[in-house]
Structure 1
Amino acid sequence: MRVITLKSIRDFYLRYPDAEVALRAWTEEARQAAWKSPQDIKDRYNSASFLKGNRVVFNIRGNQYRLIVGVAYRLQAVYVKFIGTHAQYDAVDADTIDME
Protein backbone atom coordinates (compact mmCIF):
# COMPACT_ATOMS: atom_id res chain seq x y z
CA MET A 1 0.00 0.00 0.00
CA ARG A 2 1.12 3.54 -0.59
CA VAL A 3 0.89 5.56 2.62
CA ILE A 4 -0.12 9.12 1.78
CA THR A 5 0.86 11.92 4.16
CA LEU A 6 3.78 10.22 5.84
CA LYS A 7 4.84 13.69 6.95
CA SER A 8 1.87 13.77 9.32
CA ILE A 9 3.08 10.58 10.96
CA ARG A 10 6.65 11.89 11.25
CA ASP A 11 5.48 15.22 12.65
CA PHE A 12 3.39 13.39 15.23
CA TYR A 13 6.17 11.19 16.54
CA LEU A 14 8.50 14.17 16.74
CA ARG A 15 5.98 15.68 19.18
CA TYR A 16 5.30 12.32 20.90
CA PRO A 17 8.60 10.39 20.77
CA ASP A 18 7.18 7.38 22.61
CA ALA A 19 4.94 6.76 19.57
CA GLU A 20 7.82 6.60 17.08
CA VAL A 21 8.63 2.88 17.20
CA ALA A 22 4.98 1.82 16.94
CA LEU A 23 4.22 4.28 14.14
CA ARG A 24 7.29 3.29 12.16
CA ALA A 25 6.31 -0.37 12.53
CA TRP A 26 2.73 0.33 11.41
CA THR A 27 3.97 2.38 8.45
CA GLU A 28 6.34 -0.35 7.30
CA GLU A 29 3.68 -3.04 7.64
CA ALA A 30 1.17 -0.93 5.73
CA ARG A 31 3.67 -0.24 2.95
CA GLN A 32 4.35 -3.95 2.54
CA ALA A 33 0.66 -4.90 2.66
CA ALA A 34 -1.66 -5.38 -0.29
CA TRP A 35 -5.05 -5.04 1.41
CA LYS A 36 -7.92 -5.92 -0.87
CA SER A 37 -10.72 -5.77 1.71
CA PRO A 38 -11.41 -4.85 5.33
CA GLN A 39 -10.98 -8.52 6.21
CA ASP A 40 -7.33 -8.36 5.15
CA ILE A 41 -6.79 -5.59 7.69
CA LYS A 42 -8.81 -7.35 10.39
CA ASP A 43 -6.75 -10.52 9.90
CA ARG A 44 -3.61 -8.59 10.89
CA TYR A 45 -5.06 -5.96 13.25
CA ASN A 46 -7.92 -7.55 15.16
CA SER A 47 -8.45 -4.39 17.24
CA ALA A 48 -8.94 -2.18 14.16
CA SER A 49 -12.31 -0.47 13.95
CA PHE A 50 -14.04 0.08 10.63
CA LEU A 51 -16.04 3.22 9.92
CA LYS A 52 -18.09 4.41 7.00
CA GLY A 53 -16.29 5.62 3.90
CA ASN A 54 -13.56 2.96 4.08
CA ARG A 55 -12.05 4.55 7.17
CA VAL A 56 -10.15 2.44 9.65
CA VAL A 57 -9.09 3.28 13.20
CA PHE A 58 -5.89 1.69 14.43
CA ASN A 59 -4.83 1.54 18.07
CA ILE A 60 -1.21 2.59 18.35
CA ARG A 61 1.07 1.78 21.26
CA GLY A 62 -1.41 -0.12 23.36
CA ASN A 63 -4.30 2.19 22.49
CA GLN A 64 -2.44 5.23 23.82
CA TYR A 65 -2.72 6.79 20.37
CA ARG A 66 -5.23 6.51 17.56
CA LEU A 67 -4.61 6.57 13.83
CA ILE A 68 -7.48 7.07 11.39
CA VAL A 69 -6.86 6.29 7.75
CA GLY A 70 -8.93 6.14 4.62
CA VAL A 71 -8.22 3.05 2.54
CA ALA A 72 -8.55 3.01 -1.25
CA TYR A 73 -8.34 -0.73 -1.79
CA ARG A 74 -8.47 -0.59 -5.59
CA LEU A 75 -5.73 2.08 -5.72
CA GLN A 76 -3.69 0.33 -3.01
CA ALA A 77 -3.41 3.58 -1.06
CA VAL A 78 -3.84 4.57 2.58
CA TYR A 79 -4.56 8.20 3.41
CA VAL A 80 -3.81 9.44 6.93
CA LYS A 81 -6.87 11.34 8.16
CA PHE A 82 -5.99 11.82 11.83
CA ILE A 83 -3.40 10.84 14.37
CA GLY A 84 -3.60 11.81 18.00
CA THR A 85 -3.75 10.81 21.60
CA HIS A 86 -6.73 8.87 22.83
CA ALA A 87 -8.08 12.06 24.44
CA GLN A 88 -7.67 13.99 21.17
CA TYR A 89 -9.43 11.18 19.31
CA ASP A 90 -12.36 11.35 21.72
CA ALA A 91 -12.81 15.04 20.81
CA VAL A 92 -13.15 14.54 17.03
CA ASP A 93 -15.68 13.01 14.68
CA ALA A 94 -13.80 10.00 13.33
CA ASP A 95 -16.17 9.76 10.35
CA THR A 96 -15.33 13.23 9.03
CA ILE A 97 -11.96 14.36 10.45
CA ASP A 98 -9.23 15.11 7.94
CA MET A 99 -5.61 16.19 8.30
CA GLU A 100 -5.23 19.97 8.18
Structure 2
Amino acid sequence: MRVISNRRLVDFAYLHPDAGPSLQSWRKLLEARPYLGFNELRQVFGSVDVVGDRFVFDIRGNRYRLIVAISFPAQICYIKAVLTHAEYDRGHWK
Protein backbone atom coordinates (compact mmCIF):
# COMPACT_ATOMS: atom_id res chain seq x y z
CA MET A 1 0.00 0.00 0.00
CA ARG A 2 1.20 3.49 -0.80
CA VAL A 3 1.36 6.11 1.99
CA ILE A 4 0.62 9.78 1.27
CA SER A 5 2.26 11.80 2.78
CA ASN A 6 5.27 10.67 4.77
CA ARG A 7 6.01 14.37 5.36
CA ARG A 8 3.36 14.54 8.10
CA LEU A 9 5.08 11.68 9.90
CA VAL A 10 8.47 13.37 9.61
CA ASP A 11 7.11 16.74 10.78
CA PHE A 12 5.41 15.17 13.79
CA ALA A 13 8.55 13.21 14.67
CA TYR A 14 10.52 16.46 14.61
CA LEU A 15 8.24 17.83 17.35
CA HIS A 16 7.96 14.48 19.17
CA PRO A 17 11.25 12.61 18.59
CA ASP A 18 10.15 9.57 20.60
CA ALA A 19 7.37 8.96 18.05
CA GLY A 20 9.70 8.85 15.02
CA PRO A 21 10.81 5.20 15.10
CA SER A 22 7.27 3.94 15.77
CA LEU A 23 5.80 6.03 12.95
CA GLN A 24 8.41 4.83 10.46
CA SER A 25 7.88 1.21 11.55
CA TRP A 26 4.14 1.67 10.99
CA ARG A 27 4.81 3.10 7.52
CA LYS A 28 7.13 0.25 6.54
CA LEU A 29 4.61 -2.37 7.67
CA LEU A 30 1.82 -0.69 5.73
CA GLU A 31 3.90 -0.31 2.58
CA ALA A 32 5.16 -3.91 2.72
CA ARG A 33 2.03 -5.52 1.32
CA PRO A 34 -1.46 -4.94 -0.06
CA TYR A 35 -4.46 -4.96 2.27
CA LEU A 36 -7.84 -6.00 0.89
CA GLY A 37 -9.90 -4.59 3.75
CA PHE A 38 -10.18 -3.74 7.41
CA ASN A 39 -9.96 -7.36 8.57
CA GLU A 40 -6.55 -7.83 6.95
CA LEU A 41 -5.41 -4.50 8.34
CA ARG A 42 -6.54 -5.56 11.82
CA GLN A 43 -4.54 -8.80 11.59
CA VAL A 44 -1.32 -6.80 11.21
CA PHE A 45 -2.25 -3.75 13.31
CA GLY A 46 -4.25 -5.06 16.25
CA SER A 47 -4.87 -1.61 17.70
CA VAL A 48 -6.49 -0.06 14.62
CA ASP A 49 -10.06 1.21 15.00
CA VAL A 50 -12.61 2.63 12.59
CA VAL A 51 -14.02 6.05 13.51
CA GLY A 52 -16.47 7.24 10.88
CA ASP A 53 -14.68 6.98 7.54
CA ARG A 54 -11.22 7.13 9.14
CA PHE A 55 -8.86 4.56 10.61
CA VAL A 56 -7.16 5.36 13.91
CA PHE A 57 -3.90 3.68 14.90
CA ASP A 58 -2.34 3.74 18.36
CA ILE A 59 1.31 4.69 18.07
CA ARG A 60 4.02 4.13 20.65
CA GLY A 61 1.97 2.38 23.27
CA ASN A 62 -1.08 4.61 22.93
CA ARG A 63 0.86 7.86 23.47
CA TYR A 64 0.02 9.08 19.98
CA ARG A 65 -2.78 8.61 17.44
CA LEU A 66 -2.41 8.36 13.70
CA ILE A 67 -5.56 9.13 11.71
CA VAL A 68 -5.74 8.03 8.09
CA ALA A 69 -8.15 7.53 5.22
CA ILE A 70 -7.63 4.40 3.13
CA SER A 71 -8.73 3.50 -0.36
CA PHE A 72 -8.41 -0.28 -0.42
CA PRO A 73 -9.16 -0.60 -4.18
CA ALA A 74 -6.44 1.96 -5.02
CA GLN A 75 -4.11 0.73 -2.24
CA ILE A 76 -3.51 4.29 -1.00
CA CYS A 77 -3.36 5.47 2.60
CA TYR A 78 -3.81 9.21 3.16
CA ILE A 79 -2.39 10.52 6.44
CA LYS A 80 -4.90 13.01 7.83
CA ALA A 81 -3.43 13.75 11.26
CA VAL A 82 -0.86 12.65 13.80
CA LEU A 83 -1.85 13.70 17.32
CA THR A 84 -0.89 13.29 20.92
CA HIS A 85 -3.38 11.32 22.95
CA ALA A 86 -4.58 14.55 24.60
CA GLU A 87 -5.13 16.25 21.22
CA TYR A 88 -7.04 13.21 20.00
CA ASP A 89 -9.27 13.20 23.08
CA ARG A 90 -10.27 16.82 22.43
CA GLY A 91 -11.84 15.60 19.18
CA HIS A 92 -11.08 18.60 16.95
CA TRP A 93 -9.85 16.24 14.21
CA LYS A 94 -13.34 14.77 13.58
| TM-score normalized with structure 2 length | 0.94
Structure 1 Cα separation of the partners of residues 33 and 86 of structure 2: 29
Q: Mind listing any 5+ residue stretches in structure 2 that lack a counterpart?
A: none
Alpha-carbon offset, residue 51 of structure 1:
2.1
Residue 26 of structure 1 corresponds to which residue in structure 2?
A: 26
Count of equivalent residues = 94
Distance 2:59 2:30 in 1: 13
Gaps of at least 5 residues in structure 1 are none
1:45 Cα offset (Å): 1.3
- After superposition, where does 1:25-64 map in structure 2 within 5 Å? 25-53=25-53, 55-64=54-63
Structure 1 stretches of 4+ moved >4 Å: none
- Quote the offset at 1:91 in angstroms: 1.4
Over residues 37-71 of structure 1, what are the superposed CA-to-partner deviations in whole Å (9 max), with x where a residue is unaligned? 00011111112111222x11000000000001101
1:17-53 CA-partner distances (Å, limit 9, x unpaired): 0001100100111111211100011111112111222
Q: TM-score under structure 1 normalisation? A: 0.88
Cα RMSD, aligned residues only: 1.1
For 1:45, give the aligned amino acid: F
| Distance in 2 separating the partners of 1:33 and 1:85 | 27
